[in-house]
Each structure stands twice: as structure tokens, then as C-alpha cells.
Chain A
Amino acid sequence: MLDISHLTKTYGTVKAVDDLTLHIAPGEIYGFIGHNGAGKTTTLKACTGILGFDGGDITICGTSIKKDPIACKKQIAYIPDNPDMYEFMTGIKFLNFIADIFGVSKKDREERIAKYADHFELTPDLGQIVSAYSHGMKQKLAIIAAWIHDPKLIIMDEPFVGLDPMAAHKLKEMMREVCDAGGAIFFSTHVLEVAEKLCDKVAIIKDGRLIRSGTMDEVKGDSSLEDVFLELEE
């Protein structure tokens, strides 16, 4: 589904990501953890085509993001760590805009908006402009927008920040549903308990380099993920 091969990205003389290789298969929830500034967001942004990179390649469903970014972007959805959306639009207009861009049929978009907005109890607020939304509401809107075109791969940067416990629980369910349907999830998080319970696989990045990856059991063994992470960070 997602192949990151020898990804290298530099900012000036600083290597933000250094020769990173990861493979995310269909049906996997893949957690990406690391300290602040480790290179997580840079990697995620490179996977979505927002950020160019200096070395290596990223392919989504076999298509290189460098060679055909639009074909790749059609397959994915991205939720950044701070979803700044079009504040001048109402929630429903924003979702309809995203559906238009992805060419979602009228029937599908209406069904999905109704389903996910009800999931997150956002339906009554869809007529409000986005600038009036709280951080959590914006996060919920970004999640609905991400799910609206039924993507094969969903890339998320800290998706649980700002969500209430009920919404976080719903999101976990939705993530599992995507994977059960043959899709994949690649997301970063600092909440190690969530990663430990939710992820099939996990990758730990430090100073731009991948220091450990694999199934949860392979990475943490008998310890907790937190212990392993702290040990690797030292």
C-alpha cells in the first residue's frame, strides 16, 4: 500500500529524515512514534506529496508520488497535526468542497456525511462557519473530510489531540474498519498506550533515522512500548 524507500529530506544542512525505509501493507494500522523534531511530520508530509524530498522514493499502491502525485493523492487522505481549514466556509460547505475535489457522487457524500457527522455528534454544527469551531470540532471535521472519499490509505499526524474520549473511541473504530476493508492507516502519535493497543506495527524514529520497526511484539517484546521507547531514546 505505502512503500517508503530510502527517504531522505534535508533542510539546509540538517537531515530531517535520513534514509528511512518502511513498508505499510493493506490491513495494517502502522504507528509512527518519536520525540518532537524527530522527523515524523516531515515523513508524513512527504508521503502526502505536500513536501518534496531529496532522496529515495515513496510509492502508494505502486505509483510513485514523485512521478504521479495526483494519482497518489486520490488514494489517500491526510489529517495534519493542526487542521487549519477554510475558516470562511461552513462545515457542510467544506465537506462538500472536499467531496467535489475527490469526485464523490452525490449519494455517497450525503450518506457518508450523515454517517460520520452523526458518529461525532457534529451534525447540528455543520451549518456554522469553521472559524466558530473549537479545536476538537475542527479535528472531527477534518476526520470526516478525510473519510468522505473512502480512501485506501489514511495518513494522520497526531489524530487524537483535541478529541473527547467518545470521539477518540469512534476514531479508533473507524481506523479498524478501514483496515478490515483492505485499507491502511499510517499515523504518528505521542500517546504510547494508544499506539500499543491500536497498532499492528510500529516504527520508532530518532533524529531522522529509523531505529526500530516491526510488529508490536517484535518491537516491544515483553516490555511495554513506553519502556522500549524511553530506552531507545536514551
Chain B
Amino acid sequence: MLKALLKKQIAEIFQNILRSRKTGKTRTGAARIAAVIGFALILVGVLGGTFAFFAAGTISQLITVGAGWLYMIIFAGAAFIFGLFGSVFNTFSTLYQAKDNDLLLSMPIPSRVILTARLAAVYVMGLIYSSIVMIPAIIVYIVKARPGFGAAAGCFAFLIPLSLLILTFSCALGWVVAKLSAKLKNKSFFTVIIAVAFMALYYFLYFKAQGAIAALVQNGAVFASQIKESAYPVYAVGTAACGNPVSLLIVTAAVAAVLLLTCFIMSRGFIRTVTVSGGQTKKEYVKKELKTSSADGALFSKELKRFTSSPAYMLNAGTGTLFMIVAGVAVLIKGGELSASLVSQFGRGTVIAIASAALCFLVSTNFITAPSISLEGRSIWLPQSLPVSAWQVLRSKLAVHLAVTEIPALFCGICMWAVLRPSVAEGALLVTLPLVFGLFTAAFGLFVNLMRPNLNWISETAVIKQSLSAFLVMIADMILSIAFIVLWFILRLTSSDAVFYMLIWLVVFAACAGIFLALLKKKGPEVFRSL
């Protein structure tokens, strides 16, 4: 029973790898291996590579003073935060909002078995995210510290208690959110507030951590002896991470005990929590005057409502909006000081190119169109049967992406303009380039999702967070925005090249946006009708 549920749960996570969206059939051996390798390359190559780079720059000083365990603590901490960040948003929807909860609860399956299968899915996500940080760190440790075969194996074994600890925290947070959410009327709003608060904490820790890690590395010997004396459990975790078998056993046992306790508490109210319809009392409808709008207006409102009614959608595909508003305000408050020093060091043109790239990067974190076709799900018959053209439907999805992304991008761009004081040409490009890039990301995301939709999802997380289309679009957009500035430095351009360089990228982004918009308009309606 548990095996069947586990298979279903794992298949849900990896359905984009295991199943071809084009044919709907399970991939054959070679295609499946190719898809797995491609997915792993992106994860290990892009993200893992970045962490390996940081690890290589950190380890030497700590190894020299015999504080290899401190190095492992630092990266275990980073892996914990990264893993928790990656899986916590997933937990609530996977455990409590899955569409097949009613179906499974109606079957002769004990609730603890359903819970275990759901937890396995959360565990896998946490394990993947934490491994992206921890495995490169362990490899760097093994190469530099040469701990011996047994200890090296122990380092990898440490991933078990680490991932279980992430699972424990994810579950506890997911459970708290579910309990509070069950009592609230406006769940979407509440969930977003909680998640944004969590993200703010994450980024606060992330930025504070950089300084703390630098201080730790520089004064490794002092900190190591202090931690050993006053916080022995932390030292024990560090030695466990270095492969010490006794520490590893103790840490694993302790984490397992806490996890079991968490699961026990969760399982007690699981059925009640997943079946509760909300704390609100049923309110009788009072007739009100209805507002009318055009068909295009109605489609836009519907798309916007779809976006704002789903915390998972807003948090995963729309956080860039928040980042851009915060960045704009931060630039106005703190930007003057920073820009003066950067301009004197690099020149105004270079700083403007960097600012434009940074804004493009923030724009790239919004990928609202990328899951928008998939999110139609089983209600796809509605836009297909209503008297609107497929292009109108696609256009409404683009419009929501643009409304949510371009307005804050424009705000942030204007703030940058006000602080950086560029020439008219530089300023116009600083503001326009991210807007055109935003148009490209909207069209590209919609095109990719139209070609690779998943209309048969059980949890919307599957298409918002775990779908190949959302992942591909997000990574491709980010890489493009990073390439923009990396190329600037590779080509050793100077401030005077800024206008010409940005103009070229503007043309490139505009051309790409034009191509995808043309493809959507020409091929889109036919593909949409055939879904």
C-alpha cells in the first residue's frame, strides 16, 4: 500500500522527466536517461558549481587551523536553509492541499500511510535542494582534507540526518501554516504574508551570513575553540558532518527522535486539517449590482484572479515584483552612497549596465506565463468552448504577466535613473531594456508552456514549481540576464560603450520577444485548440 502511494508521489514530482508531455507516454530508457542527465546537469552544473566555488574559497584557511568541522558546519547550515527554503513552500500544498486527499481518505488507507507518502515527497525535495549545496562542499572537503575512505563515506552519510532535519522543520512550519490557515478566511493572503516573512528572514540571514562566514574563516581557530567549549552539540554536528561515526549516530538518532515526535503530532489532526473547509461560516449571498466588462477585460480579470488566488503561484512565479519594489525603495534610500563609490571605481556607464542587468535579473524571477496554460487544468474546455479566439486567451495571460512585472520594473528603473543620474540615452536604455526583457520573458514563458503543458495535475505545485516548463523558463531567463553583464566584463568594455552595448541587447531582446510573440500568434491558436 505504502509502496504504491510512494510510487505515485515520486512520479508526481518527476513526471516531467518520466513522462513525455508531447506524447503523454512514459519515456523509454534512453530518453529517460537523457532527461535525468539534463536535469542533473542544470542542478549540479549551475547551482552545484556555484557552491563548489564558494566551498573551494572557504576551506583552506579552516583546514589549516584544524577546523574542518567548522567548514562543514557552515555548509551544512547553508544546505539546511537552502533545503528548507526549497521544500517548505511545497509542504503545505503537498500535505494539506493535494487534490487527491479526498480520494485517498475514502480508501482503506490509514492516514499515517498517506502522511508518510506525502512526507516522502517533501523529503525528496528537501534532499535534492540540500544536496545541491552539501555534495559539492563534501567533495571539496574530501579533496582538500583527505579524510580517508570511512570518514568520506561518513560525510555523505551525514546527508541523511541533515535532510531529515529539513523535513522536520518543513513539516512543523507547514503544519503551523495549515492550522492557522484553517481558521482564516483569506488564506491566500495569509499564506503569502507568512511566506514573504520567511523569505525576508532567509535573505536577512543570507546577507548577514556572508559577513559572519568571512569573520569565521578569518578567525577560524578562535571560533573553533570557543564553539567547542561553549556549544558542544554544534561541534558534535560538525564532527558528524566530517564523518565521525559516533557523532553521526548520535546526531541521526536525535534528529530521528524529533522527526518522529513532529510526525506524531501532525498525524493526530491530519484528517481534520485536510478536510476542514475553513474557519469561515457560510455567508449567504446578498444580491449586488454586477459590473460589466469587455471579453478581453473579463479574460484579464480571470487571469489576474487565478494569480492572486494561489499563494504558490504568487510566491514562486511572482516574487520578482516584490523584489523590484523593495529594490527601488532601497536604491532611493541607500543607492546614492553606493552609486557614488561604484561610479568613481568603474565609471558611470559600467554602473548603469550593471544596474540594468540587475533589474533584468529581477524581472527574470517572474515567470507567470510559464505555468499559465497548465494551470487551466481540467477547466481548459471553458476557454476552448467560449466565443473568444485562442489568441485572446493567450494575450490575457501575457497581459497579466506584463502588468505584474512591468509596472514594478518601471518603478525600479525610474528609481535607478533618479539616483544614478545617467545621460538621457543611458537613462532611457536603463529603463527600457528591462521592460523589453520582461516582454520577452512573458512571451517565451507562454510559448514554452504552450508546447509543454500539463493539464492533468493533482497539486498545482506540480506545474508551478516542479514542471520542466517553469524550471526551463526561469533558468533560461536568469542565464540571459547574467550573460548580459558577464559579457560586458569579458569584452572589457568601458563606460563609453554602455549606450551601444545596451542598445544591442535591447535589439536582441526585442527581436527574441518579437519572434516568440509571432510564433504565439501564428502557431499558438492551433496548438491551444488541440490541447
A interface, CB within 8 angstroms of B: 48-50, 52, 70-71, 73-74, 78, 80, 82, 84-89, 91-93, 96-103, 105-106, 109-110, 113-114, 123-128, 132
Contact = CB atoms under 8 A, between A and B. Distances in A.
6 contacts: A48-B385, A85-B382, A86-B302, A92-B285, A106-B289, A127-B284
Interface stretch (B172-180, B244-252, B292-300, B413-421): B292-300
A49 B384 contact: yes
Interface centre among B284, B379, B387 (most CB of A within 10 A): B387
A89 B377 contact: no
Contacts of B287: 114, 123
A105 B290 CA distance: 10
Contacts of A52: 529-530
A49 B295 contact: no
B285 A101 contact: no
B404 to A, nearest CB: 16
Interface of B: 277, 282-287, 289-295, 297-299, 301-302, 305-306, 309-310, 377-379, 381-382, 384-389, 529-530
B381 A84 contact: yes
Given A84-B377, A132-B277, A100 B385 contact: no
Contacts of B292: 96, 99-100, 105-106, 109
A68 to B, nearest CB: 10
A126 B290 CA distance: 13
Nearest to A128: B282
Contacts of A86: 302, 305-306, 379, 382
A151 B443 CA distance: 35
Nearest to B388: A101
B16 to A, nearest CB: 22
A48 B385 CA distance: 6
Nearest to B286: A127
A101 B148 CA distance: 70
A50 B379 CA distance: 12
Contacts, number: 93
A100 B386 contact: no
B381 A97 contact: no
B385 A73 contact: yes
A99 to B, nearest CB: 7
A71 to B, nearest CB: 8
A123 B285 contact: yes
Given A48-B385, A132-B277, A89 B285 contact: no
Nearest to B377: A84
Nearest to B292: A106
Contact of A89 (B291, B305, B381): B305
B293 A100 contact: yes
A48 B292 CA distance: 25
B377 A100 contact: no
Contacts of B530: 52
Contact of B295 (A103, A106, A109, A126): A103
A88 B306 contact: yes
B387 A70 contact: yes
B283 A88 contact: no
Nearest to A129: B309
Contacts of A126: 285
Contacts of B378: 82, 84
Contacts of B389: 70
Nearest to B531: A50
Contact of A106 (B284, B290, B529): B290
A102 B284 contact: no
B523 to A, nearest CB: 15
Given A85-B382, A88-B310, A100 B388 contact: no
Nearest to B282: A128
B384 A50 contact: yes
A80 B381 contact: yes
A49 B290 contact: no
Given A82-B378, A88-B309, A101-B387, 7 more contacts: A87-B379, A92-B290, A98-B386, A100-B295, A105-B292, A106-B292, A113-B290
B381 A101 contact: no
Given A50-B381, A73-B387, A100-B297, A124 B302 contact: no
Contacts of B529: 50, 52
Given A101-B295, A132-B277, A127 B285 contact: yes
Contacts of B286: 127
A68 B386 CA distance: 13
Given A84-B377, A86-B379, A132-B277, A97 B298 contact: yes
A125 B285 contact: yes
A100 B298 contact: yes
A152 to B, nearest CB: 13
A89 B302 contact: yes
A96 B388 contact: no
Contacts of A78: 381, 385
B295 A96 contact: no
Contact of B290 (A89, A110, A132): A110
B275 to A, nearest CB: 13
**Among the interface residues B287, B309, B385, which one has the most CB atoms of the partner chain A within 10 A?**
B385
Contacts of A101: 295, 298-299, 386-388
A101 B389 CA distance: 11
A119 to B, nearest CB: 15
B379 A85 contact: yes
Q: Which 8 A-B pairs have the closest CB atoms?
A: A100-B298, A127-B285, A73-B387, A88-B309, A84-B378, A126-B285, A74-B387, A124-B284
